[in-house]
Amino acid sequence: MDTLGMGIVGCGWVAEEYIKAAQHDGRVEVRALVSRTPGKPETYRQRYNLDATIGNDYEKMVQREDIDLVVVSTPHDLHTGPVVAAAEAGKHVIIEKPVALSMDDVRKQQAAVRKTGVKTIVSFVLTWNPLLMTIDELIRTGALGNVFMVEVDYMHRIWCGAEKWLGSKKQAGSSFLAGGCHAVSAMQWFARSEAVEVCAYSVQTENPNDYPGTTTAVVKFADGKVGRTTSCFDAQMPYVFNIGVYGTEGSVRNDKVFAPKLFPGQNAFMTVPCALPDSGDVVHHPFRGEVTHFVDCILENKKPFPNLDDAAKTMAVCIAADVSSVEGRPVKPAEL
């Protein structure tokens, strides 16, 4: 089997995790690093002994015949250009979350991908966390019965101010777009239904970010389920990723499971002994699972999850929540 060539656009801290994941997988070789500044890529090239070129022109890089897939890990507002260029060049694409900061940009990316048929995956990397995979299996097998309500929260102290890009509305978008989209993605995954209406409220604290740090949204799904999700950058507390999945035959609260249909005689919550999504540090996120899944899908011609179309639905809910919180009205994601 030929090794797949990987090019990375944007060489911040997340890029290093893709380098490590590619080397662990063994079927992928990092061959190009593209960055607006040369320092970080040179550090990575030396640290991981990469036989990779360094440059600042992603359009030139995506034309290379030895590049098969492209990772786009630039700041949030700079995803669309390299995603479109990579797709038009026939390269498979890994897109860091959020896909983009507007639905117009998301649609531009979707159009380019559909035109060439390349495969995509969006880095809602907690999809490969063992707890979330366990909850998915409980839902899939019917152990929880009819799931009627899903709650997922992203709570992470992020006070960086507008002078740093993650605190900038122009570059990071909002609390939901910058980080809370992880929770929205998980909520939609567990709901197994399309979000049709979103109603949200925001809180402005002393947080110096130039967008409200806390937003809570209630979501109505097409099949009648309800969802609730909060993205909070304000609270003085450790990182928390709350999960609640409630069904007619069982329920899950984080790593606590009550499923008497699966465990007859159970009369109290039991604890699932597995790694929890309990850190906001990308070093602790399962990038290896994401890259391995994507490479499997490329080589076996399978549909990756979550791909760009899946993630577009997540982006629509995040943006609907932001619009709803500003305009004080319910918003339908399909109308954005």
Q: Per DSSP, what are the bridge partners of residue 63?
A: none
Q: Burial code of 265-281, b = ≥16 C-beta within 10 A, e = fewer?
A: eeeeeeebeeeebeebe
Query: Which residue from 237, 236, 241, 262 is spatially nearest to 250, judged by alpha carbons?
Result: 262
Q: Burial code of 28-48, b = ≥16 C-beta within 10 A, e = fewer?
A: bbbbbbbbeeeebbeebbeee
Q: Per DSSP, what are the bridge partners of residue 13?
A: none
Dihedral of CA atoms 124, 103, 79, 181 in degrees, nearest 10, equals: -20
Give me 227's structure tokens. 């969802």
How far is the C-alpha of 332 from the C-alpha of 336, rounded, in Å?
Answer: 7
| pLDDT tens-place values along the chain, 336 residues long | 589 999 999 999 999 999 999 999 999 999 999 998 878 999 999 999 999 999 999 999 999 999 999 999 999 999 999 999 999 999 999 999 999 999 999 999 999 999 999 999 999 999 999 999 999 999 999 999 999 999 999 999 999 987 788 999 999 999 999 999 999 999 999 999 999 999 999 999 999 999 999 999 999 999 999 999 999 999 999 999 999 999 999 999 999 999 999 999 999 999 999 888 876 655 567 899 999 999 999 999 999 999 999 999 999 999 999 999 999 999 999 999
- Residue 331 is given by DSSP the state B
- pLDDT score at 278: 77
Backbone angles phi, psi at 283, to 5 degrees: -60, -30
How far is the C-alpha of 261 from the C-alpha of 264, rounded, in Å?
Answer: 6
Other C-beta atoms lying within 10 Å of the C-beta of residue 294: 27
- pLDDT score at 284: 60
- pLDDT score at 280: 60
- pLDDT score at 162: 72
- pLDDT score at 37: 85
Backbone angles phi, psi at 335, to 5 degrees: -90, -5
Angle, CA 55 vertex, CA 281 and CA 16 arms, to 5° = 15
Helix (H) or strand (E) holding 4: strand 4-9
- pLDDT score at 150: 98
Cα dist from 22 to 16, 62, 264, whole Å: 10, 18, 43
pTM higher than 0.85 for the full model? Answer: yes
- pLDDT score at 58: 98
Specify whether the CB–CB gap between 167 and 212 falls below 8 A: no
Query: Which residue from 273, 252, 220, 256 is spatially nearest to 144, judged by alpha carbons?
Result: 252
The count of C-alpha atoms lying within 13 angstroms of the C-alpha of 58, restricted to the half-sphere facing its C-beta, is: 29
DSSP secondary structure string for all residues of 235-279: SSS--EEEEEEEESS-EEETTEEE-TTTSTT--S-EE--S-----
Name all domains of the chain by residue range, CATH numbers in brackets.
4-118 (3.40.50.720), 127-285+314-335 (3.30.360.10)
Cα dist from 18 to 24, 73, 106, 313, 325, whole Å: 10, 9, 23, 25, 35
Query: Which residue from 168, 159, 156 is spatially nearest to 210, judged by alpha carbons?
Result: 168
Dihedral of CA atoms 295, 301, 306, 307 in degrees, nearest 10, equals: 100
- pLDDT score at 17: 95
- pLDDT score at 39: 87
